[in-house]
Each structure stands twice: as C-alpha cells, then as structure tokens.
C-alpha cells in the first residue's frame, strides 16, 4: 500500500485549487509504491499524479528531484514534468508535509520484460544521462558502497542471520567491493533505482521513467549496472536472462557508447548495485514489523544476483 495519509475530498479540492489545472473531478489512491503516498487525480483539464512525501526524502532534496524532472522533460526525455502552483512553486506544504503535482504519463510497468523492452530502456537511460549533464544542481550519492556497507555493519551479523542464515557473509563481500571500487568513471546525474516498476511502457516504447527520488550525481556506468541487476533476472534472482542483459547494454550504446574503462568496470559495478539493494532491503526488513501493510522485499533476491556476478563476470556482460 502506498497511501499513508487520508485526504478528504474537500481537502484535495482545496489543494488542487492552488494549481491552474481546472477543478478536481476525481482522485484515487494508488496501491503501488512504498515510500510516498500517491493519488491519481483527474481535473476538468487533465490527469495528474499527486505525491505526498512521507519517508526517506529530505525536504532539502526536493528542488533537486523536481528540478531534474523539469530539466529532463524540457529536453524531451520520457519523464513527467512537475506542475508548478499559481505562485510558481514546484512543491507546497500541506499539513506539515510536502506535496507535488506531477504530470501523469500513460503506460504499464512490465512484469516480465522482453529483450526489445530492455533495449528501449537502455536507450532511455543513456538519453537521460546525456540530457542531465548540464543540470545545474548537485546531489551526492548517500548510498555509495561505503554507505551501504555501513548500513549492513550497523544491522550486525546476528540480526542479518535472523532474516536468513546465509546473509551475514555479505558484510565481508561488501568490504571487498569498497576496496576495489573504481573511482574515475564518467559522471552525470543518475537515476540509481531504474527497476521495471519505475518504467512505464507502451508495448516496446518507453512512455515514462518515474521515481527519481534516489537520483544523484554518479558514474553513468553504475546506473547501467543497477538497471542490469534490476532487469535481467527473475524477481528472486535465481534465473539470469542473458538476452535481456545484452539488449539493455546494446540499447544504451545506441545512444551513448561506453568507454573501455566503463565496460571493464561493469561486473564490479553490478556487485556494488547488489550490495546497495541487499543493504536497503535488510535495513527495511528489520525496521518493518512483519504485520505492517507494506510488503517487505527480500534481501536474498539480490544476494543471489551478487553471487551470479561474482561467479560469472565474463557471462554477465558478454
Ligand atoms: N508520473 C506518473 N505517471 C503515471 N503513473 C505514475 C506516475 N508516477 C507514479 N505513478 C504510479 O504510482 C506508483 C508509485 O509511484 P512511485 O513514485 O514509484 O512511488 P514510491 O516512491 O512510493 O515507490 C507507480 O508504480 C505508478 O503506477
Ligand atoms: N527498488 C528498490 C526499492 C526502492 O523502492 P521504490 O518503490 O521507491 O522504487 C528495491 O527493489 O529494493
């Protein structure tokens, strides 16, 4: 579930009246997502997404996230633009929480992506990397390998073992990664979380890249590695789809060819991506009561991917 806050009809209508989008016609909470509350809002003029920022997001980062959407949308990337209120603000405060109105994009997130879809996503990812190069704002990656290793160390081996007895060994695996992490790869603003559920597609065309709330400055090849880890396996990480991986990287290179150093770094970057998602999932798992209304994501899904990248560095990016 992802509606943490109840907003009554009159309250919603009052909120929407701050925008020049026509009168509120209907609003429906969206079940998908975990971090924010989202509603689909229809007005007399168009359809929008209303987002209320609930957890994880620092208010000070909103100008970066929402400004990035506007920057990329202006450059014709498939991302939703932010709707500014009548006074020009990208977000407002409502009852102590930040809210933003965002363009609604059509499409559905593929549950079992095809190589053709992966190719299109690779190309769209390269498109945003190039378009974001002259985005003026900066945001540091607070989930870099040393940060995510620190998350696992803070969880501690005993707590990790309670999630799954095979989990504590990732602490040592994470240390290996921080020691060998490549530091000088080409940079831009990166999405950092481009899972299939953050991509809207109409057939084989990308109609929307959404959920930029982990975006930051970083190595573009790392973003490609995150997307590879997110797209090229079945959900549990047990089965690797080589054709999807190949199509993803090929699609990326139709727009932005990789440098030799980036290509060479992909296997270790993919392991770093696994470290990042194992850590955030383990932390969330331990923080979320088993009976909470949010489905906990299993860190082991990314331990399996991680093992795959360690054992198949040659096959994973062939
Ligand atoms: N701009 C958009 N256009 C259409 N649907 C959207 C848009 N933004 C979000 N959604 C829908 O809302 C859901 C949750 O949004 P998301 O930003 O991923 O939330 P969370 O950050 O909580 O994971 C998405 O899965 C998608 O169905
Ligand atoms: N994609 C991450 C979790 C981030 O959640 P999101 O709903 O904000 O995309 C994972 O699968 O661990």
| The two three-digit tokens of residue 198, written as one number | 């953050």
Query: What pLDDT score does 24 carry?
Result: 97
Output the CA 2–ligand 1 centroid distance in Å. 10
Query: What pLDDT score does 7 carry?
Result: 87
Of the candidates 178, 261, 272, the residue with the CA atom closest to the CA atom of residue 223: 272
The structural domains of the chain, ordered by start, are 9-103 (3.30.200.20), 115-316 (3.90.1200.10)
Query: What pLDDT score does 293 carry?
Result: 63
Sequence-ordered alpha helix ranges (H) in the chain: 9-16, 62-74, 115-131, 145-155, 157-163, 170-180, 220-231, 242-255, 260-287, 300-311, 313-316
ipTM, 2 dp: 0.95
**Cβ atoms of 202 and 220 closer than 8 Å:** no
For a mutational test of ligand 2's pocket, the pick from 208, 215, 280, i.e. the residue with the most ligand atoms closer than 8 A to its C-beta, is 280
pLDDT in tens, 226-250: 999 999 999 999 999 999 999 999 9
Closest ligand to C-alpha of residue 273 is 2
Query: What pLDDT score does 91 carry?
Result: 97
For a mutational test of ligand 1's pocket, the pick from 31, 33, 193, i.e. the residue with the most ligand atoms closer than 8 A to its C-beta, is 33
Query: What pLDDT score does 1 carry?
Result: 47
pLDDT in tens, 56-95: 789 999 999 999 999 999 999 999 999 999 999 999 999 9
Which of the residues in the chain have pLDDT under 50? 1
For the entire predicted model, the pTM comes to: 0.96
Other beta carbons less than 10 A from residue 239's beta carbon? 11
> % helix / strand / coil in the chain, to the nearest 5?
45, 15, 40
- Atom from ligand 2 closest to the CA of residue 197: 9
Ligand 2, CB within 6 Å, residue ranges: 33-35, 193, 195, 198, 211, 277, 280-281, 297
- In degrees rounded to 5, what are phi and psi of residue 99? -130, 150
């Amino acid at each position: 579930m992802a509606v943490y806050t109840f907003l009554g009809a009159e309250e919603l209508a009052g909120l929407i009246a701050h925008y020049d989008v026509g009168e509120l016609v209907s609003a429906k909470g969206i079940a998908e997502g975990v971090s924010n509350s989202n509603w689909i809002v229809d007005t007399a003029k168009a359809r929008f997404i209303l987002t209320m920022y609930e957890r994880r997001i620092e208010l000070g980062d909103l100008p970066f996230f929402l400004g990035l959407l506007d920057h990329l949308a202006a450059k014709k990337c498939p991302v939703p633009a932010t709707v500014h209120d009548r006074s020009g603000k990208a977000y407002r405060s409502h009852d102590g929480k930040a809210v933003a109105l965002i363009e609604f994009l059509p499409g559905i997130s593929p549950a079992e992506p095809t190589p053709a879809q992966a190719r299109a996503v690779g190309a769209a990812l390269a498109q945003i990397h190039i378009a974001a190069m002259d985005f003026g704002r900066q945001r540091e990656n607070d989930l870099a390998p040393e940060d995510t290793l620190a998350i696992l160390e803070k969880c501690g081996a005993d707590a990790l073992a309670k999630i799954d007895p095979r989990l504590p060994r990732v602490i040592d695996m994470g240390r290996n990664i921080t020691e060998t992490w490549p530091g000088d790869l080409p940079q831009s603003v990166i999405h950092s979380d481009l899972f299939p559920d953050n991509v809207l597609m109409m057939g084989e065309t990308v109609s929307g890249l959404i959920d930029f709330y982990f975006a930051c400055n970083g190595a573009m090849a790392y973003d490609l590695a995150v997307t590879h880890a997110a797209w090229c396996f079945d959900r549990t990480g047990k089965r690797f789809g080589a054709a999807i991986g190949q199509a993803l990287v090929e699609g990326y290179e139709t727009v932005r060819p990789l440098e030799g150093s980036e290509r060479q770094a992909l296997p270790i970057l993919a392991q770093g991506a696994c470290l990042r998602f194992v850590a955030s999932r383990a932390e969330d798992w331990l923080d979320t009561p088993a009976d909470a209304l949010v489905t906990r994501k299993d860190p082991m899904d990314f331990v399996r991917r991680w093992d795959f990248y360690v054992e198949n560095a040659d096959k994973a990016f062939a």
